[in-house]
Amino acid sequence: MQQPLSGIKVVDLTRILSGPFCTMLLGDMGADVIKIEGVREGDPVRKAGTLVNDFSWYFASFNRNKRSMALDLRTERDKDVLVRLLQRADVLVENFRPGVLAEMGFDETQLELINPRLVVASINGYGSTGPYADRPAFDFVIQAMSGFMSANGGPDHPALRCAPPITDLVAGLYAAYGIVNALRARDLTGRGQRVESSMMAGMLSMFAYLTSDYLATGQLAPRTGNDHPITSPYGMFSASDGEIAVAPSTEDILARFMSILGLADVLADARFCTNDLRLLHRKELNLLINERLRRDTQANWIRRLNAGGVPCGRVQNVGEALNDPQMRHQDMVLEVMHPAHGAVQMVGFPVKLSGTPCKVRHPAPDHGAHTEEILAELGLSAARASP
C-alpha cells in the first residue's frame, strides 16, 4: 500500500530526540529515512532509558521506520558518500547547533549546488540567527526560557517543569509540518528551500490565550495550578474515593454540571452568576462543589457527568493511560518484532489516515545495520565507507 510520503528520501543527521522524532513522523508516513550515525558511536539514545535484552526501548520508540548508516563525516571519503546521498535525497534534517553543518562543508550555498530540489530542515534551540543562536539548548532550559515553566504550578509554588520533554517534541513536530509543506511547495516551484524549527519559538506559539491576553493587556496571568486561569469552575475536584478532572468550559455545560450535582440554584447566587464573579469567588465555589462530589464515588460521578455531556475523567498515571480501553481500541500501543532483540512495545500512531495509514515497516535499526545496503544503492562498495 502506498503511503503519503512513499518515494520521499530523507537523510537524517539528527540525534537524541527533537530530530529523531521529526524523522520518525516522516518515516511513519512512508518516507525512506536514512539515519546517519558515527562509525564508533551511534545516537547516544541507544544507551538511554531502560534496556531490555541490551536494547533501548526509548531508542526503539523514536527510530522505527529508519535505516542506519555509519559514516565518519570527519573524512573526505565519507563526506563524498554523504554528497551522493544528498544528490538523490528529497530532505535533509539536522539538529546541530547553528553553524556546525556549514563547518562540515555543507552550508546553504553548497547544499543548493549539490541538489537544488533538496529541502533542508534545521531544528535548534533558539534559531539560527539572533543573540542566542550560538547557545546550547536542552528541554529543561527551553521550558524555563520560553515562559512555559512560569505558567505551571500553583500560586504559592515556584515555576514547575512539564515532565515530558515537550520542547523537543514540539520542535520536531513543527519541523515535520514545515517539511511536508516545503515538499508541496517544491511541487509548485521545482525547488527546495530551508525549513527551521526552534524549540523556544515552538513553545512560545503554544500558549494560546496566555500570550494573547498578555499582548492585549500587558498583564501576566497568575499561576493557578489545576484551576483554569480564565474560567471557573474548572479543574480538579474530589469525589469520595479520588479526584476528578472536570472542564465545564461553557455556560451551557456549567449549567448541566451544576444541575447533575443538584446545585443549579448556586448559579443564581450573586457571587457566582457570571464567570468574572466566579473567578473572584473561586475558593467558595470549589468548596461547594467538592462537598457535593464527596457524597458519591469517582466512578459514579464520571458516569453521570459524561452521560450529561460534561467533560470529565479520572487522573490516570502513564501505565493506566497506556492500558486504557479507549487507547487500546485506538491501537496506541504497538508490539514490534525486532530480529535481534525480540518483541518491543511502543506508542502507536496518533494520527489516523483512512486510505494511506501509518505503519511500522521495520523496527529501529541496529547501529550501522544498513551501511552496505545503502552503499550498494549508490553504486559504491563497502570499502568506500570508513572502517
Residue 157 is predicted with a pLDDT of 84
Distance CA 181, CA 176 (A): 9
Residue 63 is predicted with a pLDDT of 98
- C-alpha distances in angstroms, 127 versus 263, 328, 357? 52, 38, 33
Could you identify the residue written with the cell 514547575? 160
Angle at alpha carbon of residue 260, lines to 255 and 263, rounded to 5°: 70
User: Which residues are registered as beta bridge partners of 344?
Assistant: 336
Residue 154 is predicted with a pLDDT of 87
What domains lie within the chain, and their CATH numbers? 9-206+330-384 (3.40.50.10540), 235-317 (3.30.1540.10)
Residue 385 is predicted with a pLDDT of 52
Residue 383 is predicted with a pLDDT of 60
Q: Which residues are catalytic?
A: 228
| β 194-198/119-124 pair status | parallel
Residue 1 is predicted with a pLDDT of 79
Residue 387 is predicted with a pLDDT of 46
Residue 221 is predicted with a pLDDT of 87
Q: Is 231 left (phi over 0), alpha (psi -120 to 50) or beta?
A: beta
Distance CA 261, CA 255 (A): 10
Q: Is 352 left (phi over 0), alpha (psi -120 to 50) or beta?
A: beta
One digit per residue, the tens of pLDDT, for the chain of length 387 reads: 799 999 999 999 999 999 999 999 999 999 999 999 999 999 999 999 999 988 999 999 999 999 999 999 999 999 999 999 999 999 999 999 999 999 999 999 999 999 999 999 999 999 999 999 999 999 999 999 999 999 998 888 889 999 999 999 999 999 999 999 999 999 999 999 999 999 999 999 999 999 999 999 999 988 899 999 899 999 999 999 999 999 999 999 999 999 999 999 999 999 999 999 999 999 999 999 999 999 999 999 999 999 999 999 999 999 999 999 999 999 999 999 999 999 999 999 999 999 999 999 999 999 999 999 999 999 997 665 554
